Structure 1
Amino acid sequence: MSGSTSGHPGHPGISRRGFIAGTGSLLGAAALAGRVPAARAEAAPAAALLVSGARLPVLVIGTGYGGSVAALRLAQAGVDVHMVEMGMAWDTPGPDGKVFCNTLEPDHRSYWLRTRTKAPLNYFLGLPIDRDIPRHTGILDAEEFGGITVYQGRGVGGGSLVNGGMAVTPRRENFGAVLPSVDPAEMYGVYYPRANAELGVGTVDPDWFDSTECYRYARVGRKHAQRSGFPFVFVPDVYDWDHMEREAAGTAPKSALAGEILYGNNHGKKSLQQTYLARARATGRVSVSPLHRVVSVAPAGGGGYTVVAEQLDTGGAVTATKTVTADRVFFAAGSVGTSKLLVTLKATGALPLLNDEVGRGWGDNGNVMCGRANHLWDPTGRLQSAIPCAGIDNWAAGGAFAEVAPLPTGIETYASFYLTITANPHRARFSWNAAAGRVELDWRTAWKQPSIDMARTIFDRINAKEGTIYRTDLFGVYKIWGDHLTYHPLGGAVLGRATDHYGRLTAYPGLYVIDGALIPGNTTVNPFVTITALAERNIEKIIATDL
């Protein structure tokens, strides 16, 4: 990795041989895990509600944070809403009795239409641990562009199905850099509190945190951060903390304590299925069609918009093409999905009047990952909660906020692992490649270097203080930084540029963007609370003025 610092065998700390002896069993477990039988491709249920020829008051494309907020508030205002979701419903247990598979044993449920896993941490001791899986409409999409892999949730509930649930409101002093055209007083006075309440945000009990074995890894992270002079902060989350305490006590089914995070959580996490979407469906005015992919939106001759959607089976094949008319359409397919669709519609002539800002302003929220090899006297624990609950805040001084992340392997690793959010200034653009017939993103891997430099303001200092080294085996051979990915795609239809100040696509009355595509590339923290709060702000205005 250009510009990175390699750990040296002579550096004080755990030896490579000692580490291999202590943790080699993980690679063996990964290699020996059995494969599941090939998944049978099945059509979406016959009861899928999108009917060709229908006239809809509102169509929402996507069921993530922005789309779920829009659906709930529109329904409460008396408007019927139909939501289409490219992924599955995730409401039916598999052969093992569970809806979601385990992180350590990915099967056909794990990845979106891949034949091999692509785990964010995909090496161990320098050897690849990804494996073959049956092609299936799984829950996690690892979408590859030229310079970056973007991880996205696929299913009813969007990203809420696959994230760690860290529900962070940005510090108010940083908000001007996040959404400069939005009044911080209304966001912090009204919409952030509303979003946090609806999402069910809570914080770990500090006394329980100090005593439970499953957060030993985070306590080691706290000790190292504080010894180097960094603020260590508890981070709110949407996990049911009472459930997690009962998991630890053995009185509730294990999810966080069973390593469930990347490919869904079976019990404790309050995803959108349990919050906004549950309330939206309870109104009786919201219906959802899973395994439907919107491919066209264009003005209809009699008013409104003609929307074409393809119905998929669980092997990814198109089983039907449906055309409906919608009076209003909300683009909520996520930063990448919304941006790609709008860029395609503009370039191919379906929505030619979209302005030239469509596709611009995309960023990765400054994501970069790394691991540190600790001393033998700093064990991080065999049992680790998969739900992170704390971070190291060096934003003001170094432009970096680091989640103390889990490595829920079931063995002692003597390793600390981090996902860092940084103030990376680079922004990319989605554009239409006519020759290839697809949308491309011009992100360059070299643009991660500012993120690496900012992350090093924390971890170089901790390593120097503790006499420890960086792990060099988690992202390749002698590669320190996970600079190839993002969990937090943002931008592509930026508020006040591609849209007006409330997400309206002004050239086409009745078309709106209401998801993370509106946010220009960075939120300084995990983004979903900001996406939710901004959607609350925008839909309130739209209902008041446009309906």
Structure 2
Amino acid sequence: MPPVTRATPHWVVVGSGFGGSVAALRLVEKGYDVTVVEAGRRFEDHDFARSAWHLPRYLWAPRLGWRGITRITTTRHVSIVSGVGVGGGSLAYANVLYRADPHVLAHPRWRGLADWAAELAPHYAEAERLLGATPYRAAEPGGPDDPGDLLLQDLGRDLGVEHTYRKASVGVFLGTPGRTVPDPLLDGAGPPRTGCTRCGDCLLGCRVGAKNTLVKNYLHLAEHRGAFIRPDTEVVGLRPRGAEDGGDGYLVTVRARRRWGRLGRAEAIEADGVVLAGGVLGTTRLLATARAAGDLPRLSERVGHEVRTNGEFVPGVLLPRAVAHGLTERVAITSSIHPTPDTHVETLGYGAHADYMSTGLTLLTTGGRRRALAWLGTIARHPWRFAQTLVPFGQSRRQLMLLVMGTGGGALRLRPGRRGGLVSELDPDDPLPSTSAAAEDAARRVAARTGGIAESPLLDAVAGIGLTAHPLGGAVIGASPAEGVVDADQRVFGYRNLLVCDGSVVPVNLGTNPSLTITALAERAMSRVPAAQRSPGRADGVPVPLAGGPGQDRS
């Protein structure tokens, strides 16, 4: 194939979530041509579902013609909730932006590769600035806490850790409720913003325009600097264009999504460098499939290993109506406590229009090998409580979820299955736990205090299939290909100009919401990519080797 002439080298970013958006902005700032490929559609604020019952705009199931913002992927051991669309997980996440605790950044699994706390500090600060991180506050100055906050404070007192209670750092423009003003967060370079109305519908996509999604900061700035975003396009293949190590660039095979979710013909995008940012599932699937097909034979055998759930369990409590009054007048998550240094608990509200989510909940059942029998036994002992969980209408106004995360816990392995899916296997050396005593205890305590009904996800109660919205790992950072898939700068071992910038690089459970850490890690990785070079003596220029570039001289 003849060389491709361009004025500047061209990078393709696969995915537009927290890592991909950072990559798009920073690469275009360095003088590269950038194309962002996103599987989902582009959403304006008014495009989001008004109710979770509006499945085509809420859920991602393209074969059914549903092209919403939330994808639910279920394997044998875990159900994973992830975001889809231009802006990735920022469209559907619960707005929380916490830094990882220093002891997590000093975990032995990656401690020797960098002084993560010191090196990430300036990148955390920059990510907080662009994402508009701010401590949550009530709509009225000095206004009362909502019922979820009050119950979390009570739980903290019961556990003797009330001193750990704090307001969440959220990526929301709080402003004056409902009032639209010129960009208040990016020195006038961003779009107009509307103050949060505390409607609680954050997980459905913010129709108000208050959520600081990536389309209002990183992606907005990247597009205005020349980055091109290609939505509705699946990346189905990746291989070097010439040299086996990617030194001559890559061919990124894509298929555009047509009407009713069908994929069109395959076409190849030529790139001098590639950033993989499709999330744990997307990046792991693409790398594992490319390795199995012989397209990326130098890839580490660790692809798909050390996939973690962030130590996450999500029980809930169906509160009595009197206790739940005002529960939805907030953002999704407003505060947290630490029952232990390694355990983090937040209250999560679904909002008033998310009754559909209640269909996936049932009576909390203590874990065990025969979970289905235990669940049936629980129903037999509490038939009236069970009956109350069967009618979802109006329940999201009363549903208080407890998002429990921990730094401990095991891992999974993901490998390609039939028909392009992923198959999970328990890590034999570090298996994923099927239950959490801390999560069950928290739910039962809140239920006992309020007279509510303790609940858990249905698949967890019946089959031990847990739920996480914060998967990590699969292409983890390591000291060598024997320990990981990427180096400390997130460059893929064995390849030049190939990086991974999403949660799949994180080798440990962070024990708190990972979005800010993923963003900071991507900022750090992009800071190490040199600026674009133009070939001297030619007007059009040609791609030139990026000295010291990503993955160079890696074996």
Fold match, TM over 0.5?
yes
**Residue 90 of structure 1 aligns to a residue in which SS?**
coil
Q: Which amino acid aligns with 2:23?
A: A
**d(CA) in 2 for partners of 1:336 and 1:276?**
22
Q: CA deviation digits over 1:346-400, x for unaligned, max 9?
A: 011111110111111111111211123557774442643242110121231xx32
Q: Which amino acid aligns with 2:137?
A: D
Q: CA deviation at 1:233?
A: 1.4
Structure 1 residues 146 and 185: CA distance shift in structure 2, 3 A: closer
- The one of 110, 115, 126 equivalent to 1:183 is 115
State whether residues 217 and 381 of structure 1, in contact with CA within 8 Å, keep that contact through their aligned partners in structure 2.
Answer: no
What is the 5 A alignment of 1:492-507?
Answer: 492-496=474-478, 497-507=484-494
Q: Which amino acid aligns with 1:408?
A: G
- 1:108 corresponding residue in structure 2: 56
Q: CA deviation at 1:176?
A: 1.5
Which deviates more, 368-377 or 490-499? 368-377
Structure 1 residues 521 and 185: CA distance shift in structure 2, 3 A: closer
Matched, 1:142 2:64: no
**d(CA) in 2 for partners of 1:276 and 1:196?**
12
- 2:296 corresponding residue in structure 1: 351
- The one of 509, 523, 539 equivalent to 2:496 is 509
- 1:99 corresponding residue in structure 2: 47
Residue identity over aligned pairs, in percent, reads: 26
State whether residues 370 and 482 of structure 1, in contact with CA within 8 Å, keep that contact through their aligned partners in structure 2.
Answer: no
Residue segments in structure 2 that go unaligned for 5+ positions in a row: 181-192, 354-393, 479-483, 532-547, 551-555
**d(CA) in 2 for partners of 1:270 and 1:100?**
15
Structure 1 residues 422 and 245: CA distance shift in structure 2, 3 A: farther
What is the 5 A alignment of 1:80-479?
Answer: 80-91=33-44, 98-113=46-61, 135-177=65-107, 179-180=110-111, 181-205=113-137, 208=140, 211-212=143-144, 215-230=146-161, 231-244=164-177, 257-266=198-207, 267-284=209-226, 286-301=227-242, 303-372=248-317, 378-381=323-326, 383-396=328-341, 399-409=342-352, 416-433=400-417, 438-443=421-426, 449=433, 452-456=436-440, 458-459=442-443, 466=449, 468=451, 470-472=453-455, 475-476=457-458, 479=461
State whether residues 422 and 455 of structure 1, in contact with CA within 8 Å, keep that contact through their aligned partners in structure 2.
Answer: no
**d(CA) in 1 for partners of 2:321 and 2:158?**
18
- The one of 473, 491, 495 equivalent to 2:473 is 491
**Residue 389 of structure 1 aligns to a residue in which SS?**
strand
Q: CA deviation at 1:515?
A: 1.1
- 1:79 corresponding residue in structure 2: 32
Structure 1 residues 255 and 245: CA distance shift in structure 2, 3 A: closer
**Residue 350 of structure 1 aligns to a residue in which SS?**
coil
Q: Which amino acid aligns with 1:79?
A: Y
Q: CA deviation at 1:137?
A: 2.1
State whether residues 217 and 380 of structure 1, in contact with CA within 8 Å, keep that contact through their aligned partners in structure 2.
Answer: no
Q: CA deviation at 1:407?
A: 4.1
Q: Which amino acid aligns with 1:260?
A: D
State whether residues 52 and 204 of structure 2, in contact with CA within 8 Å, keep that contact through their aligned partners in structure 1.
Answer: no
**d(CA) in 1 for partners of 2:97 and 2:500?**
22
**d(CA) in 2 for partners of 1:519 and 1:338?**
13
Q: CA deviation at 1:103?
A: 3.9
Structure 1 residues 259 and 299: CA distance shift in structure 2, 3 A: same
- 1:14 corresponding residue in structure 2: none
State whether residues 177 and 194 of structure 2, in contact with CA within 8 Å, keep that contact through their aligned partners in structure 1.
Answer: no
Q: CA deviation at 1:489?
A: 1.1
Which deviates more, 454-463 or 417-426? 454-463
Q: Which amino acid aligns with 1:272?
A: L
Q: CA deviation digits over 1:169-208, x for unaligned, max 9?
A: 1222332138533313433531111111111111123694
**d(CA) in 2 for partners of 1:481 and 1:216?**
32
- 1:526 corresponding residue in structure 2: 513
- 1:24 corresponding residue in structure 2: none
**d(CA) in 2 for partners of 1:147 and 1:296?**
27
**d(CA) in 2 for partners of 1:498 and 1:311?**
29
**d(CA) in 2 for partners of 1:462 and 1:382?**
14
Q: CA deviation digits over 1:62-108, x for unaligned, max 9?
A: 111111111111111111111100110113x7xxxx21003443231
Q: Which amino acid aligns with 1:265?
A: C
Q: CA deviation digits over 1:272-309, x for unaligned, max 9?
A: 0001101111112x101001111111111372111110
Q: CA deviation at 1:450?
A: 6.1
**d(CA) in 2 for partners of 1:415 and 1:440?**
32
State whether residues 113 and 315 of structure 1, in contact with CA within 8 Å, keep that contact through their aligned partners in structure 2.
Answer: no
Q: CA deviation at 1:467?
A: 7.4
**d(CA) in 2 for partners of 1:307 and 1:498?**
19
**Residue 338 of structure 1 aligns to a residue in which SS?**
helix
State TM-score, norm by structure 2: 0.75
Q: CA deviation at 1:223?
A: 3.1
Structure 1 residues 269 and 143: CA distance shift in structure 2, 3 A: same
State whether residues 238 and 250 of structure 2, in contact with CA within 8 Å, keep that contact through their aligned partners in structure 1.
Answer: yes
State whether residues 120 and 524 of structure 2, in contact with CA within 8 Å, keep that contact through their aligned partners in structure 1.
Answer: no
Q: Which amino acid aligns with 1:385?
A: R
**d(CA) in 1 for partners of 2:169 and 2:351?**
20
- 1:62 corresponding residue in structure 2: 15
**d(CA) in 2 for partners of 1:87 and 1:316?**
10
Structure 1 residues 427 and 224: CA distance shift in structure 2, 3 A: closer
Q: CA deviation digits over 1:199-233, x for unaligned, max 9?
A: 111112369475257x2332233234234422321
Q: CA deviation at 1:447?
A: 6.0
Structure 1 residues 246 and 448: CA distance shift in structure 2, 3 A: farther
**d(CA) in 2 for partners of 1:211 and 1:538?**
41
- 1:18 corresponding residue in structure 2: none
**d(CA) in 1 for partners of 2:337 and 2:435?**
15
Q: Which amino acid aligns with 1:442?
A: E
Q: CA deviation at 1:60?
A: 0.6
State whether residues 104 and 407 of structure 2, in contact with CA within 8 Å, keep that contact through their aligned partners in structure 1.
Answer: no
Aligned length: 460
**d(CA) in 1 for partners of 2:452 and 2:492?**
50
**Residue 390 of structure 1 aligns to a residue in which SS?**
strand
Residue segments in structure 1 that go unaligned for 5+ positions in a row: 1-52, 116-133
Q: Which amino acid aligns with 1:87?
A: G
State whether residues 240 and 270 of structure 1, in contact with CA within 8 Å, keep that contact through their aligned partners in structure 2.
Answer: yes
**d(CA) in 1 for partners of 2:104 and 2:460?**
35
**d(CA) in 2 for partners of 1:415 and 1:359?**
35
- 1:38 corresponding residue in structure 2: none
Q: Which amino acid aligns with 2:329?
A: Q
State whether residues 424 and 450 of structure 1, in contact with CA within 8 Å, keep that contact through their aligned partners in structure 2.
Answer: no
Q: Which amino acid aligns with 1:297?
A: L
RMSD: 3.2
